[in-house]
Amino acid sequence: MSRKVALLLALSLLLLGREFAPNSSCKECHPLIWKEYQTSMHGNSTIFKDPIHRAVWEKNPASKKGAYTCAKCHTPAADNLKELIAPNGIGPDPDNPTQNDGVACAYCHRIEGIKIGEKSNYNIISAHQRRYFGAREDHIESPFHEINSSNPNFLNGNVCMGCHSHKKNKFGLNVCSTNEHGEIENANCVSCHMPQVEGSVSNLKERPTHAFHGFAGAHAHWDLLKRYIDIEFMPHLKGFEIALNSKIPHAFLLHPARVAFMKVQVLRDGKTIFEKGETLVRVLGADGKPTPPWLAREVVKDTMLKANEKRIFKYDQRLERGDQVVVTLGYRLVKPPLAKKLGIEEEFATKPTIFKREVFTLP
Ligand code: HEC
Ligand code: HEC
Ligand code: HEC
Ligand code: HEC
Ligand code: HEC
C-alpha cells in the first residue's frame, strides 16, 4: 500500500474523532481476522446483535433507570460509556456507531493491564490511540498503527481476565466466572480459544497461520474445543461406566443461563434397549429456589462439570458382544423454561448443540 493511501486512511479516522478506531478500519489489511471476528460473540456482544443479552437486560431492574452497566464489558468502546452506565435514563442507542462495535478490535488491543476488582475486574486502557499490543515478536511494521509486543498480558494469554475473571451481584454471589477460586492463574485462554489457523495475519505479508478471531465458544466454532473433553467407556461384568474427562481449567459451561446434558443409549441389533439422560447445570437462587442472577444469594444446585474434573457415571445395564453404546454430550444456551420466561423466541437459544458424540462397540 502506498504511503498516500495510508495517510488518507489515517486522516479519515482522525476526522471521525473516535477514541477507538472502528472495527471497519481493520478490515482492509486484516480481512481474514475481520471476517472471523464477525462470527464471534465479541463481534456480536451488543444489545442490538445479541437477543439473549437483550432479553436479560430488559428484565434487569437497572434497565428501568437506563443504567446500562453491561456496557463496561458488552460495549466497552462506546464514546459515551460513562453516561451510558449511569442511572440517568440514557439507554443504548442503535444509531451510535461506537455502540455497535461490541468488544472492539482496538479496545482489546489497547488493554495495557488489568485491575482486580471486588465485583468484577477492570481493564486499564493505554493512552496511545493507535498503538496496538500483540504477541508476535517478528512482526513487520504497519502503515496504520504502531505495534507493541512486550505486554505480558498478551504474551501469557491473560488479556481476557478484565472481563472474564468473575462477575458478582450485589449480594457478593459469583454469577459467572472462569476464576472462582483463583484456580486459573496460569491458564492460557488464548491457546484454546484463539488457536493458530490457516491464513495470513495481514495482506501485507504472507504468513502460513494467524490467531483465530472467531473466539471458539458455546455459540460458535465449538468443534475447535471438543478435544478438551474426553468421553471414556469402561465395560464390566454387571454393566458399564462412562466418564467425562475435562481438561478445561474452568467449568464446562459458565453462564448461569446454560444447561448441558449427556445422553447414553445402548443399541442392540439396531434397536435402542437402554437410554438414560443426565443434566449438568448450575442453578442460582435464594431460599433454595431459582431466581434471576441479580436476586440470587446462593448456588441452589450445581451439577456442572467442573474445572479439570473427571466425572464417572455408572449404569447397571448388562452389555453383550456387538452392543453399541452411544454417548452424546451437548447443551442449550438458555434453559427452555428460562427462555420462555424471558420471552426469547429465537430458535438458536434453546435448540440443542451437540458438542461431542462417541460410539463404543463391545468387542
Ligand atoms: C464484568 C464484565 C461483564 C459485565 C459488566 C456484564 N457482562 Fe454479560 N457477559 C460477560 C461475559 C464475559 C460473558 C460471556 C460469558 C459466557 O459465555 O460464559 C457474558 C455473557 C452474557 C450473557 C449470555 C449471552 C449469550 O448470548 O448467551 C448474558 C445474557 C449477559 N451477559 C447479560 C448481561 C447483562 C444484562 C449485563 C448488565 C446488567 C451484563 N451481562 C454485564 C461479561 C459481562
Ligand atoms: C494499512 C494496513 C493496516 C491496517 C488498516 C491495520 N493494520 Fe494491524 N497490522 C498491519 C501489519 C502490516 C501488521 C504486521 C503483520 C505481520 O507482521 O505479519 C499488523 C499487525 C497487527 C497486530 C499484531 C501485532 C503483533 O505483534 O502481534 C495487531 C494486534 C493489529 N495489527 C491490530 C490492528 C487493528 C486492531 C486494526 C484496526 C483498528 C488494524 N490492525 C489495522 C497493517 C494494518
Ligand atoms: C472487554 C471485555 C472482554 C474481553 C477483554 C474479553 N471478552 Fe470474551 N466476551 C466478552 C463478552 C461481553 C462476551 C459475551 C458476549 C455475548 O454473548 O453477548 C464474551 C464472549 C466470549 C466467548 C464466547 C462465549 C460463548 O458463549 O460462545 C469466548 C470464547 C470469549 N469471550 C473468550 C475470550 C478470550 C479468549 C478473551 C481474551 C483473549 C476474551 N474473551 C476477552 C467480553 C470480553
Ligand atoms: C484447555 C482449553 C481451554 C482453556 C485453557 C480455556 N478454555 Fe474456555 N472453554 C474451553 C472449552 C472446551 C469450552 C466449552 C466449549 C463450548 O461450550 O462449546 C470453553 C468455554 C468457554 C466459554 C463459554 C462458556 C459459556 O457458558 O458460554 C468462555 C466464555 C470461555 N471458555 C472463556 C475462557 C477464558 C476467559 C479462559 C482463560 C481464563 C479460558 N476459557 C480457558 C476450553 C478452554
Ligand atoms: C477479546 C480481545 C481481542 C479482540 C476483540 C481482537 N483481538 Fe486481535 N488478538 C487478541 C490476542 C489475545 C492476540 C494474540 C494471539 C496470540 O497470542 O496468538 C491477537 C492477535 C491479533 C493479531 C496478530 C495475529 C497473529 O497471529 O500474530 C492481529 C493482526 C489482530 N489480533 C487483529 C485484530 C483485529 C483486526 C480485530 C478485530 C476484527 C481483533 N484483533 C480483535 C485479542 C483480541
State the DSSP string of 158-181.
-TTHHHHSEEE-TT--EEEES-TT
Beta carbon of 77 within 6 Å of any ligand 3 atom: no
Tell me the per-residue pLDDT of 109-118, one tens digit each, with 9 for 90 and over: 999 999 999 9
The pLDDT value given to residue 4: 53
Residue to probe by mutation, ligand 4, list 189, 245, 331, most atoms within 8 Å of CB: 189
Q: What is the pLDDT of residues 271-319, one digit of tens each?
A: 999 999 999 999 999 999 999 899 999 999 999 999 999 999 999 999 9
* Percent of the chain's residues with pLDDT above 70: 93
Neighbours of 137 (CB within 10 A): 8
Q: At 15, is the pLDDT very low, low, confident or very high (cuts 50, 70, 90)?
A: very low
**What pLDDT score does 14 carry?**
53
- Ligand 4 contacts CB of residue 250 (under 6 A): yes
225-361 in CATH: which number?
2.60.40.10
| Residue of 37, 105, 203 to test ligand 5 pocket, by largest number of atoms within 8 Å of CB | 105
Q: Does ligand 2 have an atom closer than 6 angstroms to the CB of 132?
A: yes
| Cβ–ligand 3 contact at 103 (below 6 Å) | yes
Whole-prediction pTM: 0.95
pLDDT the model gives residue 11: 46
Alpha-carbon Rg of the chain, whole angstroms? 23
Q: What are phi and psi for residue 35, nearest 5 degrees? A: -65, -40
Angstrom distance (rounded) from CA 4 to CA 306: 54
CB-based contacts of 178-186 (< 8 A; 24+ apart in sequence)? 178/249, 178/250, 178/254, 179/250, 183/249, 183/250, 183/307, 184/249, 184/250, 184/307, 186/156
Distance between Cα 207 and ligand 3 center (Å): 26
Which atom of ligand 3 sits closest to the CA of residue 74?
12
Share above pLDDT 90 across residues of the chain, in percent, rounded to a whole number:
85
Please state the atom number of ligand 2 nearest to the C-alpha of residue 106.
35
* Residue nearest ligand 3's atom 24 by CA: 217
How many Cβ atoms sit within 10 Å of the Cβ of residue 320?
A: 10
How confident is the model over 118-157, as pLDDT tens digits?
A: 999 999 999 999 999 999 999 999 999 999 999 999 988 7
**Sequence ranges of the chain with CATH classification 2.60.40.10:** 225-361
Looking from the CA of residue 154, the nearest atom of ligand 5 is 12
Stretch 187-195: mean pLDDT, rounded? 89
Number of helices (H), then strands (E), belonging to the chain: the values are 11, 18
Which of 294, 326, 323, 363 has its CA nearest to residue 70?
Answer: 294
* pLDDT (0 to 100) of residue 177: 79
The per-residue pLDDT for range 215-226, each reduced to its tens digit, is: 999 999 999 999
State the closest ligand 3 atom to the C-alpha of 218, by its place in the atom list counted from 1.
27
**In angstroms, what is the span from residue 341 Cα to ligand 1's centroid?**
18
**Does 171 or 53 have the greater pLDDT score?**
53
Q: Average pLDDT for residues 41-51, to the nearest whole number?
A: 98
Considering the chain, what is the average pLDDT of its residues? 93
Q: Look at 184-188, 315-319, 346-350 and tell me which has the smallest mean pLDDT.
A: 184-188
In sequence order, the β-bridge partners of residue 259 are: 332
Pocket of ligand 1 (CB under 6 A): 50, 52-53, 56-57, 60, 62, 69-70, 72-74, 120, 163-164, 167, 176, 218, 254-255, 257, 333
Q: How close is the Cα of 137 to the center of ligand 3, in Å?
A: 25
Q: Which ligand is nearest to the CA of 251?
A: 4
Nearest CA owner, ligand 1 atom 14: 255
What is the three-class DSSP state of 99?
helix
Distance in Å, CA 307 to ligand 3 centroid: 18
pLDDT beyond 60 at 265: yes
Which of 87-91, 187-191, 240-244 ranks highest by mean pLDDT? 240-244
* Average of per-residue pLDDT across 189-193: 93
Q: pLDDT band for position 158 (50/70/90)?
A: confident
Ligand 5 mutation target, pool 108, 132, 154, most atoms within 8 A of CB: 108
| Predicted local distance difference test score (pLDDT) of residue 12 | 59
Coil, helix or strand for 36? helix
